Amino acid sequence: MAVGAAAAALELDRCAMFPLTLCTCYRRTVPKTVTLARLPALPTLRVPIRRPGHFNVAFVSLASGSHSDSQEHKPEAIERAEALVVDRLQEKHGSQLKKRVLVGLGIGIGAGGIIVAGGWVFTAAIAAAVFAAAREYFELVRSQGIAAGMTPPPRYVSRACSVICALMPVLTSYFGHIDVSVSASAFLVAMALICQRGIPRFSQLSSTMFGLLYCGYLPCFWVKLRCGLAVPALHTELGNVWPVLLGGRAHLTVGLVATLISVSSIIAADTCAFLCGRAFGRTPLTSISPKKTLEGAFAGLSGCIVVTITLSRIFCWPSSVLSGAAFGILNFISSLFGDLLESMIKRDAGVKDSGSLIPGHGGILDRLDSYVFTGALCYSFVKFALPLFGV
């Protein structure tokens, strides 16, 4: 019996895993078997098997496929094979982590430049990200895991909704509000679903309307936060040295400062939660995402508050430490539940990532899930909550 390194599985008599003198069940007519999963290419890994009708032990080489009756010590061979597998897995994990860090740095630098630029540059970037996220969302809705229990919307409706979601940030920047556009879009989509061929389903309507809210309406608040709050941040001394090429002091607005602090605090929360969760995480946070732990969540909250307070001291906004800490807590809670909501959608869809657009990071929705609710809550906090306390 010989198999090569590319064989899918190998069934072995369980009794052959031990010396014959220790085995008392070789007289069974139907031996119990175990299955060894396919291993990577291993150098001469030799596994003992018992030949039918014989009481001696033969060896099968998984690398060369040859038989041998020599009594090579099996545990040593298995240890060498396991060590090789572990080394290859660590090497692969290290290369993936390096790729993820490099891509993450590139995204962070690019996003920082877009935030500082503001205006139509920021709006166009949000519209492009929203379009890609909407496409991924409707693909998740049509996936086998979710579509098995419901009727997904027709493909032409999904594509039309993706375009509508991309237009919402543009309309928000042009008109300054989004209420009429969202209402008109929801009405047109509902009429298209009702007038479709066949019998309309409520699941089609609910998943489509949630897509308009999740991928289109909520991200528009980032445009309102960055471009709508155009009041200059007069109390910060950083404005005196703000480069003229970046717009000068007048370009350093409350919207720019709030957006920079919010995005930076979310990045800090994700980084601290990931690193501390891997190193010290023991207590699961929720069954929706088994890899998230209470220890990681606490580290993320601490990192988010520290970064928010530090940047608020640099920009002199918000003016008090208490308001800065409250802003950090709000950023963390909104980002955490945005992440959990997307994890719930992927869990029902039966996929690990929403897409493969970003190397090492998955889809665009995997990177933007923490920001979906944050823009709306931060805008409400800055626009309505802080003025109540004179901040």
Task: Please tell me the pTM assigned to this model.
Answer: 0.74
Please give the C-alpha separations between residue 130 and each of 194, 325, 330, in angstroms, as whole numbers.
Answer: 26, 29, 23
Q: What is the pLDDT of residue 237?
A: 66
Q: What is the pLDDT of residue 263?
A: 96
Q: Phi and psi (nearest 5°) for 118? A: 65, -160
Nearest one of 29, 67, 35, 64 to 48, comparing CA atoms: 67
Q: What is the pLDDT of residue 151?
A: 86
Give me the tens of pLDDT residue by residue for the chain, a chain 391 residues long: 444 443 433 343 444 444 433 344 433 444 444 444 444 444 444 444 444 444 444 444 444 444 444 445 556 767 777 777 776 766 666 666 677 778 778 888 999 999 999 999 999 999 999 999 999 999 999 888 887 778 889 999 999 999 999 999 999 999 888 888 888 889 999 999 998 888 888 999 999 999 999 999 999 999 999 998 888 776 666 766 676 666 666 678 899 999 999 999 999 999 999 899 989 999 999 988 888 999 999 999 999 999 999 999 988 888 889 999 999 999 999 999 999 999 999 998 888 888 888 876 788 999 999 999 999 999 999 998 888 776 5
CB 146 within 8 A of CB 118: no
User: 365: part of which helix (H) or strand (E)?
Assistant: helix 364-368
CB 59 within 8 A of CB 70: yes
Q: What is the pLDDT of residue 56?
A: 44
Nearest one of 238, 233, 267 to 250, comparing CA atoms: 233
Summarised one tens digit per residue, pLDDT across range 142-167 is 888 887 778 889 999 999 999 999 99
CB 115 within 8 A of CB 263: yes
Q: What is the pLDDT of residue 230?
A: 84
